[in-house]
A and B are shown apart, each in its own frame.
Chain A
Amino acid sequence: MTDEQKIVGAALVVGGGIAGVQAALDLADSGIKVYLLERSPAIGGKMAQLDKTFPTNDCAMCIISPKLVEAGRHINIDIIPSAELISLEGSAGNFKARIHRHPRYVDMEKCTGCADCEAVCPVSLPNEFNQGLDDRKAIYRPYPQAVPNAYLVTKLGTSPCKNRCPAETSAQGYITLIAQGHYGEALEVVKQYNPFPATVGRVCNHPCEDECNRGKLDSAVAICALKRFVADWVHEHPQEQGESAQEAAPPEGKGERVAIVGAGPAGLSAAHHLARMGYGVTIFEALPVAGGMMRVGIPAYRLPREVLQREIDDILRLGVDLKLNTPIRNIDRLLEAGYRAVFLAIGAHEPQKLGIPGEDVRGVHHGVPFLQGVSLAERVGVMEGFEDKFIIAFGIPIAPRVGEKTVVIGGGNTATDAARTALRLGAKEVSILYRRSRAEMPANPWEIDEAEKEGIQLQVLTAPVEVLETDGHVNGIRCVRMKLGDPDASGRRRPIPIEGSEFVISADTMIAAVAQAPEVSFLEESTGLEITPKGTFVIDAKTLATTKPGVFAGGDSAKGPGTLIEAIADGRRTALSIDRYLRGVELLTPREELPLPVVELSEEEIRERVERGEVDPRPRVHIPAVEVEERTRDFREVELPLTEEQARAEAARCLSCGLCSECYRCVDACKAEALDHQQVVVEEEIRVGAIVLSPGYSLYDPAHSPEFGYGRYANVLTSMEFERMLSASGPTEGHISRPSDHREPKRIAFLQCVGSRDQGHDYCSSVCCMYATKEAMLAMEHIVGLEPTIFQMDMRAFGKGFDDYFERGKNLGIQYIRCRISDLEEDPETGDLLIRYRPEQGRGSTLKEERFDLVVLSVGMESLADAHPLAKASGIELDDRGFCLTRGFHPVETTRPGVFACGAFTEPKDIPDSVIQSSGAAAAALSVIGEARGTLTREKAYPPEIDVSKEKPRIGAFICSCGSNIAGVVDVKAVVDYATTLPGVVHTENTIYTCSADSLKLIQERVKEFNLNRVVVASCTPRTHEPLFRDTIREAGLNPYLFEMANIRDQCSWVHSARPEEATRKAKDLLRMAVQRSQMLTPLYQQTIGVNQACLVVGGGIAGMNAALNLADQGYKVFLVERDKELGGRMRRIYSTADGQDPQEYLKGVVDRVLRNDHIQVLAGHRVVETGGFKGNFKTTVEAMDSPRRQLIEHGATILCTGGVEYRGEAYSLGSHPRVITQEEFEEMLAHRQEEVKGLKSLVMIQCVGPWNDDQGIPFYCSRVCCSVALKNAIKVKEANPAASLTVLCRDIRTYGFHEDLYTQARRKGVIFVRYEPENPPQLSLRDGRLRIGAKDPVLGIDLPLEPDLLVLSEAVVPTPGSEELAKLFKVPRTLEGFFLEAHVKLRPVDFPTDGIYLCGMAHYPKSIDETLAQAQAAVARASTILSKKTMEVGGVVARVDGEKCAACLTCVRVCPYEVPVINAKGEAEIEVAKCQGCGACAAECPAKAIELQHYEDAQILAKCEFAMEEVA
């Protein structure tokens, strides 16, 4: 078998909601390696957002969190969050899945979830988990219990300012910090990129501002001025700087030294960064001053010398060695001297000449030397007496002199600087000549403006052709006029001289400031560096590496004359490259190779943000400057700083384009060094054998229904927002308040069917009726006297226990009004909402307008927003509604073999249905890859157990706040303090959620740190959490039974919520008892037993047969027991389905496959008479129905699927009148007696007929399928006989999910639906043998004279006779109605409390064929978790007999409900470890005290009892 054909024992689960998590757990527990892919940052899905769940009102987080933690800790589940499926190749059994892992910018392995980063992050964003009701930081964890418990960063992309900045400065970062007044931190952000914030903040050409998205709205943020502000402010307020902003001490020296040639901006910048990285840096500078062009090229009126010096000094303080007046001619010498790397940043100071006659006469200067001269001279004072030419002699600066009439040639910044400098040196008239037009001038436009303001003349389209002289001194310039031609290589239009246009300008000084070039000729040739024709070094554009290893070059000398910030950028880039070079890693990071997209906000987006009020509307700040008259006579600084107020206002204008501002404060804050802002999308390939798609659904966005004013009316919320508001861990900590005024609402309206059952959604979302009831109920618990009203069409309480729940809601006082609301009106003064509705159905009822404080829109489920890309990636088809396409008899199969689907991705559904379907999908996947189980999995290894037998108890007590579940009532701090006083307790600690992954880790750390040998957790119920904590301490080396728990949530904060003091006292009591008992705990050990890999399936309907087939597919032996002689169960009487499939043909196929399958032994005509044993090792006896022939079956797991039957009562003369039949009988008539159907003129169907019609004491429950069945049959009638009148008398029509389609079809065909109230059911009378039904139409209030030819009763589904005995045999519980009762309605819907026994199909509750099939497979998945193992561990908490004491009195034999004890040959009682359920009945009854229940020994219990009384005593 080639690699391509081999079955891969791994599965990919896409979507980590509850469905995906369940599927992952089932698969992993069955020996499959699972990859659990989740788009969002954490698993948990929408269920994690819920407060409570219906119909039990369990805390959603409390019941999902253990599952999440289990999945997170499962050794064979790889959770891959922030990832998506890109493509899927291959076929069932062997797929190649390509996935994209999106960058989180936090290394999940390293992150501890400590939240330090969150505290320093300056960026707030709407908190998605809380539906935007509050904010979170840009670095965040979706919710406290998130799995994985790791942070991540929200990054939209690179902000344009950062992207445009040559130095990649995170402008958005420091602007955000400035806006918040964190100036020191802001400055530190700048310094990460640029050691010259004050300098650059004055003279930068700030290309960032050209790109600023804010410019699309009004004008760019004044980024440059803000940089200057913050640099100056911090300088002027040294005392106000916190520790973080202080110049960090140089890190520990790395020992390696780097040489830098040139102390200009590039060189100094590199020195700054290298020194901060810990390198020893020496700078060699030829000039007598440091600063390069900043010092000698930029005039002081733009950049005061002391500002520059201050920043140079800062760099030198990092330990940088600066050698002035030290030109370098040979690089090799540096390397020989021990420098590990060299950076050449020698600048471009060589002036370019104009090349015109007379350029050498006196009075002609060149731009750069001119400015240099002025700058250097200024240092020692302008020296008078030297005219004409000047020399730069090192140490002897001589100032150039200008005449009265100075002409500057050139259009760059050097030209404007020279012109403005000349003015300041005393020239009376200064003009600038430029050969192109103003638009082409390379100088910063604002510099040109300022020059003009100062009176400098601009002569464009003019070029000098000759310098005229008198006595060797300039006296004029001959010029020529130019015109613009075609663009040249630089993209600017080429100037062309106009013939005969020459003219002369008089001048006594000319400054030629056209260009400068690098001068590298001084370097000795032996260095071996390649030089470009332009005279610059040959370098790699991204890394700045020269052709010589270890030698880098940047700035003007490498790239030709550029801007200051470009040189500074090169310095940083070189520092990064040198560091990476010296560390021997790649010179570029992944993100540098593959940059993030630049965030371009469209004008539309910006406008929308303005409309949402998210944008500070203030205009750009006006940057102050010294008046022109005052400034042109000296070199004082022209531009003035912003005030603090101005700066903060200006910073607030930033649109925060990138979301994360990349200020990198998180990087500094993270002690675990988990931050990695350089991450990029990573593509990976995963080999799996099967796929389960469980990506969930999207909530309807009510912005698409503006008539409800969502988004405009503050007090209109969605149900999910309200759910978060109800949640103790939500944005309001469980306090319900109106967003408009934070007042507690007294009247809340719930509007149903928003985004369901409408023109755009032809289906029912299935969950909204129930969750609205739940939310109303919970709100009533929160607010005393609350009046909730639910506006709905039908009450769709179709699930197990739902009708009871609904009744409870009614009894609590929830008002249910059958009216869909058309629109909402807001009272502008109060924010109240006005709802108009008809309170009564009948005529004469007028509209009522009612005022509500809050309106909750019960939004429906829509297909997943990105269902289409996922469908494309996975190669499956979607239905017309965008949900995953599955077919009726194959509810978890997609259109691609090997790819399965479950949860709300296939159809709107609630949690139990999703969980069932997900287990079903897992089983379906197992049927493909089951044979490869165990091939890719790992075993969990625990550390060797610490022997604590000789130690005195050292107890660690952990007190849980459970968010505010406990802490909201119980004074947790007091309990913690109290714990420290208890004997044996050596460590106590409070945790917010003790069950969260970080807390569990903490417990393990504490065990080691304090040598704990007992752990006590005071939190919630051991029922859900004890296994988790036991496993936790086992991982820390303790025997799991050295754990004890106190339930201070259920038993204190919940039940005594109104009495916090007493609750706290009780919590202390419970804790004291737990601590005392923990002292007495001893280690227990489990033993390994073999597992019988066969399964018993009881019930041969489609559930049982499909379960059997799936088990057989996985290679397990199956015994299929059926009381009937024939297989098929109830399906034998179903002849059609709504989607037009043929159930009989399907059934025949299934029966055939079952009968032909070697792995399945069919025992039709048999019943179970005896059963015993335990998970992994059951023994069951079956007996033929018609003979005493018996067979003993040994099996490892059991599935009960005995089905349900249609109730046949006496109501409505059923059985006594030939024209009254049941739906099942009618189905048969439709299938076989078409002629009879065609003859029917009128029919009536009555829904909801059942045992309650015969006995009023029996409570009503919804049989879930009858509405759909009746409608399916009604449609068949109308199709066969369109003229027949058909009236359906019903309470509600409960066509949930896509069944709604049947309701629509039936109405479209003219079926009339008349509602009746349960207390006033339709009456049947007979007149002349004809049926006459008395019913009143509630809408018009008129009596309907119904005299049908046929009355069809939709009778309830009741459990199959015999299920009661079966329940007794297997010792499994049943509901009041007689259906089997699962272990937990929400999350264990196919499990029984007894391990190893599972249930499915109608024996669980009435359900449709597809639901039955899914559940059958779900039961298989659960059974597989046992059957897949060859051995398993048993024992632990079991009863142990002390043979010495046993009197063989048989008491234990009699009391044991599981019939475990036997009297052995020695005449002593013996209890099978694997069988014992640990109930303790025998231990309690044993008169000789010969039996002890381990872990619940008398001494342990008594210790608890004694100490319960301690305080009282």
Chain B
Amino acid sequence: MKSTYSPKVSQGEGVAQTPFAEEIREICGENVYLCYQCQKCASGCPVADHFDLSPNQLMRAVQLDERELALTSKTIWLCAACETCATRCPQDIDITRVMDVLKIIAQQQGIPPGVPSVPVFYNAVLHNLRMFGRLYETGLMGEFYLRLFLTGQLDLGQLFSKDLSVGMKMFREGKLKLLPHLVGKKKGQTTKKVTSTKRRVAYYPGCSLSGTSVEYGLSFKAVAEKLGLMVDEPEGWTCCGTTPAHSTDHYLSTLLPMKNLALVEEMGHSCVTAPCPSCYLRMRMALHDIARDTELRERVKAQIGYEPSEGLRVEHALNTFTERVGLEAIGSEVTLPLGELKVVCYYGCVITRPPKVTGFEDYEYPNNMDKLVRQLGAQPLDWSYKTRCCGASLGFTNLEIVLELGRKILANAKAVGAEAIVVACPLCQVNLDSRQAQMDGQFDLPILYFTQLMGLAFGLEPKALGLDKHFIDPIPLLRKKGIIPSS
């Protein structure tokens, strides 16, 4: 198995080409031949309706050496990387990773992308983070629209009717910043050595917690403080690269999290918590890959002089609270039980998936957020969409998909009687909250971070939890349920 996604494709005529499936196996170790066309990937894919090739057909194209069919497909670009197919594949084929490899090959070979706006977005993101280290969302949007305009793909209708208004509101709420964040340690500053303990861990907020999901960041910090959980943010952390990185360059998508983990270990910490599932998965994935790929490990080590220690742990914030802090400790801080507020817990894709990377046990029907909110006095309801994908970053490039997926999620939540949706992912929150008005249907469902509910139950000020920054205003509901005073 080769360590990176930099395939050497034989270009010469007449040279017997390695079968495509073999080539992919060489690159990433996934054996596409194993696919027996059961179609489970297709029937479970939330985005498959928009694909030109269903995931199993894509596997088939690889099996049959139909390179062009595979590399020019829309499918590889529309895949939201929700990991549903990879998790449920009876043959344990990491289909998501195969999609990545196909995208990378397509980009390297200069094959016109099936959905041109997606790589435009990826490039804009990567360019943005090369410039600023972290996502500068205002700049990113500007660059993205400019690039679209230059390639003649800009949908002015969408820009003016939808995106701009959302953007303006975010701007007003301080979720979009005028200026980029400056990354980098101040000169001469030495990092104070700290060790991870039961109640002290490193904290990797990720780009969105100071931007579009500022209320997540606020509420996380507030409840952590209340619970006596000390979190140390490493100086100079950078963006994890997220989907654009793993869709473009596997090495880059490993290197970026490694840099941040290096900072964590430099502080002396052996555990880092990440509230954003995407950051969390990228870090865990990097560790997972590096543990299995010596070459990759060596390359990272050669470049940044770092290799992760054995005991290094990456936690999602949800687990940090439910396991590290513990439900009992959380329960003992509850001063204003949430009055049987009916909620559904929405875990989204990658807190739990893929289980071999996240280590999550009940990944198909997780319960820890439900247990947490029950501890807070709310009433979590059973529903069918706990881990169904919201479309993730497709909101920037293929809004209609996100609206469609969001509509289903909201409809099911409403149907089971939920009064609000609780989330643990910035992308889920933004997609369901800021776009809710654009989905036909009078849902009017506030989308709350679990940390906000914790804060409310702990008796913290709504404002301190960023509850005033939502598109769907949760205050009336919270007043109605007596969770915050009506005055």
Chain A positions within 8 Å of B, measured between CB atoms, are 705-707, 709, 712, 753, 757-759, 793, 818-829, 835-838, 841, 843, 846-847, 1285, 1293, 1303-1304, 1307-1313, 1315, 1337, 1339-1340, 1342, 1344
B contact residues around A836 at 8 Å (CB): 43-44
8 Å CB contact of A847 from B35, B36, B43, B364: B43
Flag if A822 contacts B416 (CB, 8 Å): no
Structural contact, B60 and A820, CB atoms closer than 8 A: no
Inside 8 A of B90's CB, which chain A residues have their CB?
Answer: 753, 757-759, 820
Given contacts A820-B40, A823-B44, contact A1308 B365 (CB under 8 A): no
Taking CB atoms, residues of chain B closer than 8 Å to A1342 are 64, 66
Q: Which residues of A contact B19 (CB under 8 A)?
A: 1285, 1310
Taken together as a complex, chains A and B put the C-alpha atoms of A1339 and B32 apart, in Å, by 15
* A1310 x B21 contact (CB < 8 A): yes
Expressed in whole angstroms, the Cα–Cα distance for A1181 and B383 within the complex equals: 75
Distance, CA A884 to CA B61, complexed state (A): 40
A843 to B55, CA, bound (A): 11
State A712–B370 Cα separation when bound (angstroms): 15
Does B63 interact with chain A (Cβ within 8 Å)? yes
B44 and A1312 within 8 A (CB): no
- Provide the bound-state CA to CA distance between A1250 and B63, in Å: 29
B115 interface residue (CB < 8 Å to A): no
Name the A residues within 8 Å of B383 (CB-CB). 828
A916 to B364, CA, bound (A): 40
Instruction: Name the A residues within 8 Å of B60 (CB-CB).
Output: 1337, 1339-1340
CB atoms of A826 and B384 under 8 A apart: yes
Q: Residues of B contacting A838 with CB < 8 Å?
A: 39, 42-43, 54
Pick from A824, A1307, A1312: contact of B64, CB below 8 A.
A1312
Q: Given that A707-B365, A1310-B22, A1340-B66 are contacting pairs, would A821 and B40 also be in contact in the complex, using a CB cutoff of 8 Å? A: yes
B residues near A821, Cβ cutoff 8 Å: 40, 43-44
Measured CA separation A1454–B52 after assembly (Å): 75
Contact indicator B43/A793 (Cβ below 8 Å): no
Known: A821-B43, A822-B44. A843 touches B57 (CB 8 A): yes
Of the candidates B31, B39, B45, B382, which one forms a contact with A820 in the assembled complex, judged by CB atoms under 8 Å apart?
B39
Q: In the complex, what residue of chain A is closest to B54 when comparing beta carbons?
A: A838
The 5 closest A-B pairs by CB, nearest first: A822-B44, A706-B365, A820-B38, A820-B40, A825-B384
**What are 17 A-B contacts defined by CB distance under 8 Å?**
A705-B364, A706-B364, A712-B365, A793-B36, A793-B37, A793-B38, A819-B39, A821-B44, A828-B383, A828-B415, A828-B417, A837-B39, A847-B43, A847-B49, A1304-B34, A1307-B33, A1342-B64
**Cα distance A138–B1 in the bound complex, in angstroms:** 60
Q: Give A828 to B383 CA distance when docked, in angstroms.
A: 8
A712-B382 contact in complex given A820-B90, A828-B415, C-beta closer than 8 Å: yes
Chain B 303-337 residues near chain A, CB threshold 8 A: none
Establish whether residues A843 and B64, one from each chain, have CB atoms under 8 Å apart when the complex forms: no
B279 nearest CB across to chain A (Å): 26
Interface: B412 (CB within 8 A):
yes
| Closest beta carbon of chain B to A1291's beta carbon, Å | 14
Q: What CA separation (Å) do A1047 and B42 show in the bound complex?
A: 53
| Highest count of chain A CB atoms <10 Å: which of B40, B49, B84 | B40
Q: For the complex, what is the distance from the CA of A822 to the CA of B22, rounded to whole Å?
A: 27
Closest CB of chain B to A1245's CB: distance in Å?
16
Chain A positions within 8 Å of B39 at CB level? 818-820, 837-838
Across the two chains, which residue of chain B brings its CB closest to A822?
A: B44
Instruction: Write out the residue numbers on chain A whose beta carbons fall within 8 Å of the beta carbon of B45.
Output: 822
Chain A positions within 8 Å of B88 at CB level? 707, 822-823
Does B477 sit within 8 A of A, measured CB to CB? no
Q: Which residue of B lies closest to A1293 (CB)?
A: B36
Name A844's closest neighbour in chain B (CB-CB).
B52
Instruction: Write the nearest CB–CB distance from B371 to chain A, whole angstroms.
Output: 10
* Cβ-based interface call for B48 (8 A): yes
Residue from B35, B85, B415 within 8 A of A827 (CB atoms): B415
Closest CB in chain B relative to A711 CB, distance in Å: 10
Docked-complex contact A706 and B43, CB < 8 angstroms: no
Which residues of chain B have a CB within 8 Å of any CB of chain A? 19, 21-22, 31, 33-45, 48-49, 52-54, 56-57, 60-61, 63-64, 66, 69, 84-85, 88-92, 362, 364-365, 382-385, 412, 415-417
- Chain B residue at minimal CB-CB distance from A834: B384
Q: Which B residues are CB-close (under 8 A) to A709?
A: 384
Tell me how far the C-beta of A1299 lies from the nearest C-beta in chain B, rounded to whole angstroms. 14
Report whether B415 and A829 are in contact in the complex, using a CB–CB cutoff of 8 Å. Answer: yes
Complex Cα gap A753–B383 (Å): 24
The chain B residue sitting closest to A830, CB to CB, is B415
B32 CB → nearest A CB, Å: 10
A841 surroundings in chain B (CB, below 8 A): 37
Q: Which residues of chain A are within 8 angstroms of B364 by Cβ–Cβ distance?
A: 705-707, 823
B95 CB, nearest partner CB in chain A, Å: 12
Whole-angstrom CA separation of A1339 from B35 in the bound complex? 12
Looking at A820, A841, A1309, the one whose CB has the most chain B CB atoms below 10 A away is A820
Q: Indicate the member of A837, A1285, A1307 with the most B CB atoms within 10 Å.
A: A1307
Q: Which of A823, A824, A1344 has the most CB of B within 10 A?
A: A823
Minimum C-beta distance from B21 to chain A (A): 7
Q: What distance in Å separates the Cβ of B42 from its nearest Cβ neighbour in chain A?
A: 5
- The interface residues of chain A lying within 8 Å CB-to-CB of B384 are 709, 823-826
Tell me whether A1313 and B415 are in contact (CB under 8 A): no
What's the nearest-Cβ distance from chain B to residue A1327, in Å?
21
Chain A residues, CB < 8 A from B412: 825, 828
Contacts A821-B43, A847-B49 given; 9 further ones with Cβ under 8 A? A757-B90, A820-B43, A825-B385, A825-B412, A1307-B35, A1337-B64, A1339-B37, A1339-B60, A1340-B69
**How far is B91's CA from A1308's CA once the two chains are assembled, in angstroms?**
10
Given contacts A818-B39, A828-B416, contact A1340 B44 (CB under 8 A): no
Q: Bound state CA distance, A843 and B75, in angstroms?
A: 12
A952 to chain B, nearest CB (A): 71
Q: Which residue of chain B has its CB nearest to the CB of A1282?
A: B22
CA distance A1344 to B385 in the complex (A): 40
Q: Select from chain B the residue with minimum beta-carbon distance to A1283.
A: B16
Q: Select the residue from B31, B42, B385 with max chain A CB neighbours within 10 A.
A: B42
A707 nearest in chain B by CB position: B364
Are B43 and A1310 in contact, CB atoms less than 8 angstroms apart? no
A822 touches B54 (CB 8 A): no
Give the residues in chain A near B38, CB-CB below 8 Å: 753, 793, 819-820
Q: Is the CB of B34 within 8 A of A1340?
A: no
Shortest Cβ distance from residue A716 to the other chain B in the assembled complex, whole angstroms: 12
- On chain A, the residues within 8 Å of B37 by CB distance are 793, 841, 1313, 1315, 1339
Instruction: Select from chain B the residue with minimum beta-carbon distance to A1311.
Output: B33
A655 to chain B, nearest CB (A): 21
CA–CA, A841 to B37, complex, Å? 9
Residues of B close to A818: CB separation below 8 A: 39
A712 CA / B36 CA spacing, docked (Å) = 30
CB distance from B293 to the nearest CB of A (A): 21
Q: Are B33 and A1310 in contact (CB under 8 A)?
A: yes
| B41 contacts across to A, CB distance below 8 A | 822
How far is A818 from B40 in the complex, measured between Cα atoms in Å?
A: 10
Q: Which residues of A contact B33 (CB under 8 A)?
A: 1307-1312
Q: In the complex, are the beta carbons of B43 and A837 less than 8 A apart?
A: yes
Complex contacts, B57 vs chain A, CB 8 Å = 843, 1339-1340
Contact pick for B61, options A712, A829, A1340, CB 8 Å: A1340
Query: Measured between alpha carbons, how far is A825 from B56 in the docked complex, in Å?
Result: 22
Question: Is A1303 touching B36 in the complex (CB atoms < 8 A)?
Answer: yes
Instruction: Tell me the nearest residue of chain B to A817, going by C-beta.
Output: B39
Contact residues in A for B56 (Cβ distance below 8 Å)? 1339
- The chain B residue sitting closest to A1341, CB to CB, is B57
A1285 to B37, CA, bound (A): 19
Interface centre among A829, A846, A1293, A1340 (most CB of B within 10 A): A1340
Kindly state the separation between the CA atoms of A1311 and B36 in the bound complex, as whole angstroms: 11
Query: A308 → chain B, closest Cβ, in Å?
Result: 48
Query: A1339 to chain B: which residues have CB within 8 Å?
Result: 37, 56-57, 60
Bound Cα distance from A835 to B37, whole angstroms = 18
- Complex Cα distance, B63 from A818, in Å, reads 19
